[in-house]
Amino acid sequence: MPGRELVCTCEDVTRSDVEKAIQHGHTDMESVKRYTGFGTGICQGRGCMSQVAGLLHRQGAPAERLFPTTPRSPLQPTELGQLAVGGELPPLFPGPQAPATLPPPSMPPAPVALEPLPERAEVVIIGGGIMGLATAYHLAKNGITDVVVLERAYINSGASGRNGGGIREQWSTEQNVLLMNESIRICSEFAVELGINVWLRQGGYLFVTNKPEQMAAIERNVALQNRLGVPTRILKPQEATQIVPDLNTQDLLGACYNPDDGTLFPWPFLWGYANGAKAKGAKIITFTAVTGIDIEAGRVTGVVTERGRIKCNLIINAAAAWAPEIGRLAGVTFPNKPERHEILVTESLKPFLKPLVSELGTGLYFSQSGRGEIVGGLGDPEEPEGVEMRSSLRFAVRMSRALVNRIPRLAHVKVLRQWAGCYDRTPDGNPILGYVDEVKGFFQVHGFVGHGFMMAPAVSKYVGLYLAKGQEHSIFKDNRAARFKEAGTNRAETLIIG
Amino acid sequence: MSKKRYRKLEVPGRFTTPPEFTVRFDGKSYTARAGESLALTLLAHGVYVVGRSSKYHRPRGAFCGRGECGHCLAQVNDLPNQRLCRCQSQAELRVESQNVVGTAQFDLLSTLDWLFPQGLDHHHLMIESKTLNRVALAMAHELSGLGRLPPAPTDYVAPHPERRKVEVAVVGCGAAGRAAFDVLRAAGREVVVIDSEPVTGDGVLGGLRVIGYYDERYLVAVGADRLLWLEADQVVLATGGVEQLPQVPGNDLPGIFSRRLTERALAAGILPGQRVVVAAPKSASSSTRNCARALVMQLLDAGADVPATLGLGSNSGAALSLEGGLGEVEGQHRVRAVHADGGGDVFSCDALIWCGPIAPAYELPRQMGLSTPYQPTQQGFVPEHQGDGRTAQANVFVAGEVTGIEADQAAAHGAKVAQAVLASRTAGASSVEVRHARA
């Protein structure tokens, strides 16, 4: 059968799969990789990277714009037990001496001629991550179809394409519990509504802790969650091994488990929302960075990009880690700080781990993906602020130690790659939503502290209803940017993971 | 030990003593000799299929023979996803095929492959109804994964890295790396060369694979019982290249072997097949063709039947030497026949030796900050460099096949690059300074 020859034999990607991806508009190497899965198996693209480039080249991509996808360490599969070295940790990289805001990471060049920018639009959304794309979809669904989304690189290039795919109702504030209840419902219907699988798997979230102060927090949070109808249970360490038999519980004091939480595969979420928005008339423009915001008489009048200007009266800032930078372009200061969080993925194994496991107090989290890999991360208390997406040896060592400690059977499991993305951290762990006082027509949807991905389905729906139908949800009142300047702000969210 | 387990693909007359021990594969014993990889041991017995692929359960068996591709994965003594070409045969090793429902040869789920001749579009699988979707995805998850979670090590002790600083590190001890190393050493430089093969010698670090350039500082290398964090003032990257599969239907069938695997098999006294077709792409260089033609001679000498060569020029020594290239590879579980390009000629055979393009191993050069754009003429990503191996990074050099040159020029190039290294070093140069490609 023509086209049936395999390009990537690790993940069984055929030539026609690659050609279909190109037809779907995935015309740069990183996007084709994400859509087809080529190069994500044991050989990490050694046998297929140049084949895919050859196919793109034959379809008209100029050679000088074709680069391989970022080669991730380890370059050969390496056992967690070998990376979990003893002794002193490697120092922070790039370290605290790095400037607070580094120049933005280099991204691959745009692969093909880009479509011209429209002269004007009713709404311009800055940021083609999940929040921006989902907001475009909900605006269009509610009647505002003249929407342009501006993305500086490719779809999935930021935190939306770099996260662990966790989705949970276990939160510490009523608003977040209810929001996430709604999000999980939307996720379970996503494939039918938006025509693409997101591989939602409700294997639960198992929080464990060895810190006495966290046990009190668990009891408080579970009481709140139960009151709101979430079936979270508090478990003794021994009971946790009924859910994860290989869990090391020696040092644990307790755990809590909600079977309705789960994981999903982040990338198709973005394609689904992007295609849904496009089908209703919105424009998604990639590889176009915003360089300025036009303001006249205290009101936004347009967005300046490296390729020209789009006039508009409403700008939505959904730029996450870059949101404070976008704010500065409009003369508005936000307190969010970008902060690198690193993550790794192992070889794929037959299913053995049902829930996402997370340690309260250390920030370790890991789960088994729909494809069988262990995916997980671990925050670093020493991490300085700044947009930084390089990987570090220190993380490889810390993460491997933490995984081998929590599940000793993972010692012989091999890491395939590690990467990083940025949290968009606010002082109280809650997002920044709604209009700002300083400039009219400048709407904010950011500051989700690494949890924007799971909150986007519900939040974007409420943004759509608010801006298109005038139905204002309480999240917009409670999460105004102005709260940081006022006394007695809303309750801080404490269940921040990673 | 079963006495019936003869080795049917040994080169006739090569061995006068019987094999030394047995290994087990899927419950059967196979005789083996020390110094063979598990992939070669199984090949000697005509075992071509060692497992099944992740999605369509297509048959898989050794291709590259050098630990680059993912074709010969199996579970070895309960450790999943081991490359059999990288595991030495040892007495009583227990090898099991992976992702198999039935046997490696006859896998029930290989029906997926012909039930979906257009491919299985997992993005749009069963998206019409919420209930069906839920069931389909749960099933897909149950079928996912290669290999099983291994048992916990009984005696696990966290390893301690060996930290070293040297003036020059050469990565790769092929022809180019070796030549560069020799020149640098003769010139009195404090130099080491690292290679994944078990090479030995003073300053030669064999059996170590470089797994990355971390923190713009450390070359991290991992071996069976060794872990190295190496810092170097200057680095010569002689990472070589990776043999690529032919891009024709049937290109992943067991029984398609790379040139280098074939050379290794013959050196170990093992034939890759009884009837062997040797092919090269029409674009192959004269150097590649010469290697391929030499291989034909070796195969014939070793007693194989070579019914045809494709793309190797005329009078290759085979029964038929066709100028045209490879059209298609045919077979259910393994290679049964090879079609010449353009239709017409079909040759029944049990192995195809593919002398295909070699894509530069650009990964480490890229991590060290070199630009690696696609080069259509090389069919690969080539680090930007000057003729003497210098790059945009003052302390990083590239040598040999990674620069896109032919294998037969690699040694001379390595020596030339070493001279550039010697010439470039300024007194008091500190550790490697590289601006990394971010993200």
Helix locations, B118-174, DSSP H: 130-143
Residue A488 domain-assigned (yes or no) = no
Q: In A, which residues are within 8 Å of B218 by CB distance?
A: 90, 393
Residue B426 has pLDDT above 70, yes or no: no
Is the Cβ–Cβ distance between B251 and B329 less than 8 Å?
Answer: yes
What 3-state class would DSSP assign to B396? strand
Do the domain assignments include residue A272? Answer: no
> What's the CA gap between A452 and A459, in Å, rounded?
9
| pTM (2 d.p.) | 0.95
Among residues A266, A272, A303, A267, the alpha carbon closest in space to that of A288 is found at A303
Q: What is the pLDDT of residue B119?
A: 86
d(CA A443, CA B330): 60
What is the domain-level CATH number for residue A37?
A: 1.10.10.1100
Q: What angle do CA B97, B99, B103 make, to 5 degrees?
A: 55
DSSP state at residue B1: -
The answer to whether residue B157 scores a pLDDT higher than 80 is: yes
Mean pLDDT value of segment B350-366: 96
| pLDDT confidence tier of residue B111, bands split at 50, 70 and 90 | confident
- Judged on CB neighbours under 10 Å (0-12, 13-18, 19+), A24 is middle
Which residue's entry shows tokens 């759509």? A464
* pLDDT tens digits, one per residue of B270-309: 999 999 999 999 889 999 999 999 999 999 999 999 999 9
Residue A22 belongs to domain spanning? 2-69
Residue B97 near chain A (CB below 8 Å)? no
Q: Is residue A451 part of a domain?
A: no
User: DSSP code of A33?
Assistant: H
Give chain A positions within 8 Å (CB) of B366.
Answer: 68, 70-71
B209 interfacial to chain A (CB closer than 8 Å): yes
Place B342 in a pLDDT band, splitting at 50, 70 and 90: confident
* A45 domain residue, yes or no: yes
Can you tell me the distance from the alpha carbon of B14 to that of A399, in angstroms, rounded to the nearest whole number? 50
Four-point Cα dihedral B316, B321, B324, B330, nearest 10? -110
The pLDDT score that the predictor gives to residue A132 is 98
Tokens coding A275: 């295609």
Is A335 a member of any domain? no
Query: The complex's ipTM?
Result: 0.95
Note the maximum CA span of chain B: 72
Number of domains in chain A: 1
What part of B 213-242 touches A (C-beta under 8 Å)? Answer: 213-218, 220, 222, 227, 229, 242
Integer Cα distance of A441 and A330 in angstroms: 11
pLDDT digits (tens, 9 = 90+) for B20-48: 999 999 999 999 999 999 999 999 999 99
| Segment 146-205 of chain B within 8 Å of chain A by CB | 146-153, 156-161
Give the three-state DSSP class for A325: helix
Residues in B touching A200 (Cβ below 8 Å): 137
Any domain includes A48: yes
Q: Cα separations (Å) of B75 from A75, B24, B108, B257?
A: 21, 11, 19, 21
């040896």: which residue's tokens?
A393
- Domain assignment present for residue A22? The answer is yes
Interaxial angle between packed helices A29-36 and A49-58, expressed in degrees from 0 to 180 and rounded to the nearest 10? 110
B:278-337 residues touching chain A, CB 8 A cutoff: none
In a domain, A421, yes or no: no
pLDDT < 50: residue spans in chain A: 100-105
> Which of A433, A459, A461 shows the shortest CA–CA distance to A446?
A433
